[in-house]
């Protein structure tokens, strides 16, 4: 693994975590919707 | 799935649908419901955003937004909030509400006109965007394929791509921004992230090739980094093609309701202050006198006051034969006057007309959710964010696996392909489009279905409970037997009333008995004596208001027999009538009346017993005549029984065929009635000669019917109760699906789950068949939408590459995604041809 790959892997993982928190975290629209459904 | 209603909203809608509770009455006085046409929605998530916005407005108790019909239904307190502020709230989140310029906002016809114009404008905009996208995408595509390399090539491509991204694709980016602000994700998000990534990367590669060249390895440093303008523009073009096809197909799904709405004529001819004037149909008020000429549509509901005509009511009832209307008859707005000119008094106008009620009910049903949609709802809630994560994962995986040279390009292309192929719009369209088409189709056939949940339940029905009176049968007595005691009929009265009546043909009395029906079937006799007897009886009963008397008059009229006006008439409640016809005293009634009047029933006793055994109501006819011998002065006249008339409630013509059809559909048929067992069995044999009716429950009181339905349900059966909506109400409510036959003009519409506008049991089979087909289509749609994503995402991620070397181009992914939505819609539209 070269430096770029390590960077992309760490960046990708953080991005996925951010997406999950943003859409499913407290007060998110998706969460409110699922609760209502 | 497209209908978004909070649980609170659903409860209120339910209550509003059931008119009999005090709570509802209070609700209605405090709140008001309005249906607003909304424009600018591109996806189910838009509907959710608007719904949440409306629910947040103070004074709004419930809101539901339907993506498929583009309507927002709001229940609100008019003292706290106005329609204008509701519209303002919707506009604040980037959508628009249409309101007719002037006149009654809630007049469906005028809303429909405005919606029509808005739809055309939106379609025009979509066309322009697509043309721009296509015109600029083609040269970009050619340049990227042709491998021509010249200085400034990338700048040319950028110049061509910019209008596609910023003009044609603007709606996707705006939509994506709006949902991200609400921390939601939808198909706009996926398209925006996918095309945005391809475009942004390409711009960087064009403006600052040095920045990205390193990622592509040594070769790129010399030739410049590759760009992907064609990917971004082709995706936008293909998605727009899909949207355009979708818009066209969606227009067709609600054609049925549009046809209903446009039934009402634009103008009406009324008489005010003695002058005939033409006014817009919306301005007709109650008690106006309306004139209708042949060929014209009737503008509102009313009661005929003068003249008469044959009226085509097929658009409301599905009944193809015109119905004759005389003074006193009710006419309905939207029906067509065929033959005569007549006047009528307007009784129900505007929102209250039968047509408008049907339109509202169908609109509500079209917006309702089927429970099956819940699964799709839950999945789509998780779907989009997870797809974004999968796309990122795809990028990282390819970048980590491949050697430096090609890894960035491959990772980027697969990242975009995953985002594009996973757009969840096919899933969003699967259920609502099928419900929309099915309820519209039902309305066209005179079957009013209350909602998507009803369609789903009706699709699972195993047992149909049929009420006898008024459902299988006409619900009113008909003359079934005429028995004349021949020698007594040679009087001047009969000779005058029925000249040349000997040797008449046997008339069917409107009912054809099955060949094997003997005692249970209905007898008719070819002799003219019977007709003479009927003519005498009808003349005596002419002024009678009793159902039995009226049945006798109807039978005589149907046979075109002469019916004279009686000189004297006296009704004896509980016994019969005594009348004077053509100078002769005639007595018609039950055996007690005969005894009272001193007429001997001996000559007909055997026949009377036979009729009673076959559960007929028996009426004796006696006339006064001079005795054959001895003194022949008027004082010597004696009353002699000259015949019998048997009456019974007869089955409707279509009942037998409908029962057969339901049996063929694999349904268990049960007949339930308050009548005695003998009558019930006779009717069951008449409509189901081959034993199609598996069970007859007789002697049931109206309030016990619900108990029998419950017992069937306890055996694990899914029960549909079919009744005429009045005394069967508790059973209709208890059943899984309550179906009201006929009386479709009344409050019955509100009480049943399904209302058949025509007095024909065939509608029950039609409704169940339609529900089954609809559920089939919904399941197919959901299957394809899910299967498509389950298969498409791994292929787009490049899962097949190690084995087959296949890699999915993002452009093909965009084409496939558009195709999936269109195929789901086309599948739903198949229901139109039911």
pLDDT per position as a tens digit, B116-156: 777 788 889 989 999 999 999 999 888 887 766 777 788 99
- Mean pLDDT for B696-709 is 83
Alpha helices in B354-424 (DSSP H): 354-367, 373-401, 404-421
Decide if B739 contacts B753 (C-beta within 8 A). Answer: yes
Report the chain A residue with the minimal C-alpha distance to residue B379: A34
Q: Does the structure show a pLDDT above 70 at B501?
A: no
Give B394 to chain A, closest Cα distance, Å.
10
- Mean pLDDT for B597-608 is 88
Decide if B258 contacts B289 (C-beta within 8 A). Answer: no
What band does B499 get if pLDDT is binned at 50, 70 and 90? very low
Contacts of B392 in chain A (CB under 8 A): 12, 15-16, 19
Q: Of residues B120 and B627, which shows the higher confidence score?
A: B120
CA distances B123 to B99, B113, B244, B257, Å, are: 19, 15, 7, 20
Q: pLDDT tens for residues B59-81? A: 888 888 877 677 888 888 888 88
Which residue among B184, B378, B384 places its CB closest to the CB of A37?
B378
Decide if B280 contacts B302 (C-beta within 8 A). Answer: no
B677-687 vs B655-664: helix crossing angle, rounded to 10: 80
Q: Does the structure show a pLDDT above 80 at B730?
A: no
Average pLDDT score over chain B: 79
What band does B326 get if pLDDT is binned at 50, 70 and 90? confident
Give the pLDDT of residue B621: 92
Q: Catalogue the E-assigned strands of B635-783.
A: 638-651, 668-672, 693-697, 719-723, 737-741, 754-756
Question: B393, A24: Cβ pair inside 8 Å?
Answer: no
What band does B163 get if pLDDT is binned at 50, 70 and 90? very high
Q: Does the structure show a pLDDT above 80 at B470?
A: no
The full DSSP string for B415-449 is: HHHHHHHT-THHHHHHHHHHHHHHHHHHHHTTEEE
Give the pLDDT of residue B199: 92
- Mean pLDDT for B93-102 is 70
What band does B109 get if pLDDT is binned at 50, 70 and 90? low
Report the chain A residue with the minimal C-alpha distance to residue B3: A37
Give the pLDDT of residue B254: 65
Q: pLDDT tens for residues B246-266? A: 777 666 666 667 777 777 888
Question: Residues of chain B with pLDDT > 70: what percent?
Answer: 79
CB pairs under 8 A between A and B: 65
Distance CA B832, CA B834 (A): 6
Q: Does the structure show a pLDDT above 90 at B93?
A: no
Give the pLDDT of residue B628: 62
Give the pLDDT of residue B727: 66
pTM of the predicted structure, to 2 decimals: 0.68
Report the chain B residue with the minimal C-alpha distance to residue A19: B385
Q: How is residue B489 written in tokens?
A: 């009929």
Contacts of B377 in chain A (CB under 8 A): 37
Q: Does the structure show a pLDDT above 60 at B222?
A: no
Q: Of residues B206 and B106, which shows the higher confidence score?
A: B206
Contacts of B381 in chain A (CB under 8 A): 30, 33-34, 37
Q: Does the structure show a pLDDT above 80 at B387?
A: yes
Report the chain B residue with the minimal C-alpha distance to residue A16: B389
SS3 B521: coil
Q: Does the structure show a pLDDT above 80 at B215?
A: no
What band does B552 get if pLDDT is binned at 50, 70 and 90? very high
Distance CA B506, CA B402 (A): 94
Q: Which of B38-42, B47-51, B369-373, B515-519 has the lowest mean pLDDT?
A: B515-519
The single-letter DSSP state of residue B833 is: G
- Most confident listed range (B119-123, B255-259, B494-498, B501-505): B119-123
Q: Of residues B639 and B257, which shows the higher confidence score?
A: B639
Q: pLDDT tens for residues B199-213? A: 998 898 888 877 666
Question: B392, A16: Cβ pair inside 8 Å?
Answer: yes
Decide if B37 contacts B71 (C-beta within 8 A). Answer: yes
Which residue among A12, A13, A20 places its CB closest to the CB of B385?
A20
Q: Does the structure show a pLDDT above 50 at B23?
A: no
Q: Does the structure show a pLDDT above 80 at B331?
A: yes
Contacts of A37 in chain B (CB under 8 A): 374, 377-378, 381
Contacts of A9 in chain B (CB under 8 A): 396, 399-400
Give the pLDDT of residue B24: 38
- Most confident listed range (B88-92, B307-311, B701-705, B718-722): B718-722
Give the pLDDT of residue B741: 82
- Most confident listed range (B4-18, B140-154, B711-725): B711-725
SS3 annotation, B213-261: HHHHCHHHHHHCCCCCHHHHHHHHHHHHHHHHHHHHHHHHHCHHHHHHH
Q: pLDDT tens for residues B399-437? A: 998 887 778 888 888 888 888 888 766 777 788 788 888
Question: A37, B377: Cβ pair inside 8 Å?
Answer: yes
Contacts of B179 in chain A (CB under 8 A): 29
Give the pLDDT of residue B29: 47
- CA atoms lying within 13 Å on the CB side of residue B315: 25
What band does B214 get if pLDDT is binned at 50, 70 and 90? low
Which helix (H) or strand (E) element contains residue B458?
helix B452-459
Give the pLDDT of residue A9: 93
Give the pLDDT of residue B519: 35
Question: B385, A15: Cβ pair inside 8 Å?
Answer: no
Give the pLDDT of residue B240: 86
What band does B2 get if pLDDT is binned at 50, 70 and 90? very low
- Its sign, for the CA torsion B81, B85, B87, B89, is negative
Question: Residues of chain B with pLDDT > 90: what percent?
Answer: 18
Question: Which of B288, B453, B467, B753 is labelled catalytic?
Answer: B467
Distance CA B661, CA B669 (A): 11
Question: A23, B184: Cβ pair inside 8 Å?
Answer: yes
Report the chain A residue with the minimal C-alpha distance to residue B214: A4
Give the pLDDT of residue B716: 93
Decide if B751 contacts B725 (C-beta within 8 A). Answer: yes
Rg (CA), chain B: 36
Reply yes or no on whether B467 is catalytic: yes
| Residue B451, Cβ density class (10 Å: 0-12 exposed, 13-18 middle, ≥19 buried) | buried
Give the pLDDT of residue B507: 35
Give the pLDDT of residue B506: 34
What band does B627 get if pLDDT is binned at 50, 70 and 90? low
Give the pLDDT of residue B632: 60
Decide if B497 contacts B562 (C-beta within 8 A). Answer: yes
* Interface with A, mutate which of B48, B93, B177, B389 (most A CBs under 10 A): B389
Question: B184, A20: Cβ pair inside 8 Å?
Answer: no
**Nearest CA among B508, B611, B430 for reference residue B68:** B430
Decide if B246 contacts B822 (C-beta within 8 A). Answer: yes
- Mean pLDDT for B815-829 is 84
- Mean pLDDT for B217-227 is 60
Q: pLDDT tens for residues B662-697? A: 999 999 999 988 777 877 888 888 888 888 888 999
């Amino acid at each position: 693994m070269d430096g770029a790959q390590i960077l992309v892997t760490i960046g990708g993982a953080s991005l996925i975590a951010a997406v999950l928190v943003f859409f499913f975290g407290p007060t998110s629209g998706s969460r409110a919707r699922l609760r209502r459904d | 799935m497209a209908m978004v209603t909070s649980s609170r909203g659903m409860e209120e809608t339910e209550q509003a649908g059931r008119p009999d509770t005090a709570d509802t009455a209070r609700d209605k006085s405090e709140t008001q419901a309005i249906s607003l046409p909304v424009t600018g929605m591109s996806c189910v998530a838009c509907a959710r955003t608007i719904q949440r916005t409306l629910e947040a407005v103070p004074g709004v108790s419930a809101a539901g937004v339907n993506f498929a019909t583009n309507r927002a239904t709001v229940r609100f307190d008019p003292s706290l909030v106005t329609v204008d502020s509701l519209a303002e709230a919707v506009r604040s989140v980037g959508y628009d509400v249409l309101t007719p310029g002037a006149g009654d906002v809630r007049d469906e016809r005028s809303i429909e006109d405005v919606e029509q114009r808005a739809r055309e404008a939106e379609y025009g905009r979509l066309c322009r965007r697509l043309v721009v996208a296509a015109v600029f995408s083609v040269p970009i595509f050619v340049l990227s394929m042709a491998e021509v390399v010249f200085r400034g090539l990338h700048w040319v491509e950028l110049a061509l791509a910019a209008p596609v991204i910023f003009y044609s694709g603007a709606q996707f980016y705006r939509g994506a921004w709006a949902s991200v602000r609400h921390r939601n994700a939808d198909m706009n998000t996926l398209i925006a992230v996918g095309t945005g990534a391809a475009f942004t990367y390409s711009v960087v590669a064009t403006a600052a090739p040095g920045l990205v060249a390193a990622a592509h390895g040594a070769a790129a440093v010399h030739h410049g980094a590759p760009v992907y303008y064609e990917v971004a523009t082709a995706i936008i073009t293909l998605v727009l093609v899909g949207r355009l096809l979708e818009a066209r197909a969606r227009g067709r799904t609600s054609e049925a309701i549009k046809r209903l709405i446009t039934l009402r004529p634009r103008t009406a001819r009324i008489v005010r202050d003695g002058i005939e004037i033409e006014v817009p149909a919306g301005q007709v008020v109650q008690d106006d006198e309306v004139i209708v000429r042949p060929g014209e549509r009737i503008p509102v509901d009313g009661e005929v006051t003068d003249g008469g005509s044959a009226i085509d009511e097929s658009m409301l009832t599905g009944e193809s034969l015109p119905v004759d209307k005389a003074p006193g008859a009710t006419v309905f707005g939207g029906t067509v006057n065929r033959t005569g000119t007549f006047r009528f008094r307007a009784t129900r106008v505007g929102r209250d007309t039968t047509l408008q009620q049907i339109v509202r009910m169908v609109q509500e049903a079209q917006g309702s959710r089927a429970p099956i949609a819940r699964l799709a709802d839950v999945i789509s809630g998780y779907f989009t964010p997870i797809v974004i994560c999968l796309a990122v994962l795809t990028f990282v995986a390819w970048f980590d696996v491949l050697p430096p040279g090609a890894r960035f390009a491959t990772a980027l292309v697969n990242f975009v392909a995953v985002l594009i192929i996973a757009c969840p719009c096919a899933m969003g369209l699967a259920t609502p489009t099928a419900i929309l088409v099915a309820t519209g189709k039902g309305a066209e056939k005179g079957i009013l279905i209350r909602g998507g949940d009803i369609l789903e339940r009706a699709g699972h029905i195993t047992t149909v409970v049929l009420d006898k009176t008024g459902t299988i049968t006409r619900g009113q007595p008909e003359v079934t037997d005429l028995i004349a005691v021949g020698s007594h009929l040679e009087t001047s009265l009969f000779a005058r009333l029925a000249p040349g009546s000997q040797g008449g043909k046997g008339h069917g009395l409107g009912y054809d008995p099955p060949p094997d029906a003997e005692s249970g079937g209905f007898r008719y006799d070819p002799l003219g004596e019977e007709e003479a007897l009927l003519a005498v009886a009808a003349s005596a009963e002419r002024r009678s208001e009793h159902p039995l008397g009226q049945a006798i008059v109807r039978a005589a009229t149907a046979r075109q027999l002469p019916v004279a006006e009686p000189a004297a008439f006296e009704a004896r409640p509980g016994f019969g009538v005594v009348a004077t016809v053509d100078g002769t005293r005639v007595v018609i009634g039950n055996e007690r009346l005969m005894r009272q009047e001193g007429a001997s029933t001996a000559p007909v006793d055997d026949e009377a017993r036979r009729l009673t055994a076959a559960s007929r109501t028996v009426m004796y006819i006696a006339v006064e005549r001079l005795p054959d011998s001895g003194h022949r002065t008027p004082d010597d006249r004696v009353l002699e029984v000259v015949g019998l008339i048997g009456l019974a409630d007869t089955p409707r013509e279509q009942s037998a065929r409908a029962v057969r059809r339901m049996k063929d559909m694999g349904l268990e048929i049960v007949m339930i009635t308050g009548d005695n067992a003998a009558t019930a069995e006779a009717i069951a044999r008449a409509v189901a000669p081959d034993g199609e009716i598996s069970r007859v429950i007789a002697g049931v009181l109206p309030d016990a019917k619900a108990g029998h339905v419950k017992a069937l349900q306890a055996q694990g059966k899914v029960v549909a109760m079919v009744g005429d909506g009045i005394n069967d109400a508790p059973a209709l409510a208890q059943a899984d699906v309550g179906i009201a036959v006929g009386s479709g003009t009344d409050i019955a519409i509100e009480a049943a789950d399904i209302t058949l506008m025509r007095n024909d049991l065939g509608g029950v089979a039609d409704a169940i068949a339609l529900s089954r087909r609809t559920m089939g289509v919904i399941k197919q749609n959901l299957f394809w939408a899910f299967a498509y994503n389950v298969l498409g995402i791994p292929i787009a991620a490049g899962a097949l590459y190690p084995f087959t070397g296949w890699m999915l181009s993002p452009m093909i992914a965009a084409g496939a995604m558009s195709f999936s939505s269109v195929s789901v819609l086309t599948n739903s539209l198949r229901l139109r041809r039911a």
